[in-house]
Amino acid sequence: MSTGLLLQYVVIGVIVLASVLLVVRKLAPQFSNRWLAAASIRFNRPGRAAWVRAVGRHLQPKQATGDCSDGCATCGACGPKRPASAHVEPQPLEFRQRR
């Protein structure tokens, strides 16, 4: 196997891995937060090298603050709402014959 072909396989593998991680973060956020928290705890232990602890702190998932800007969407208050006064009664369909 040539060096160019090996490099091509490595680049494609990194792209596929990044795509899978992105999909998991978007479609299963609770699962990915639990996984990141477990990895963060393992890396951020006393007695580890400084760079390993820095990786552990970086992997730690962000906690929901209860603010509408954190994107947790647990309370349902962050989404767009129509005002109660803007309620419109449904209109019946009227079918007219063509001339």
Mean pLDDT computed over every residue of the chain: 82
The distance from CA 19 to its chain's CA centroid, rounded to whole angstroms, is 12
Name the token pair of 23.
């999909």
Beta strands per DSSP E along 1-99: none
The pTM score is 0.50
Please tell me the distance from the alpha carbon of residue 26 to that of residue 22, in angstroms, as a whole number. 6
- Is pLDDT of 88 > 60? yes
- Is pLDDT of 71 > 90? no
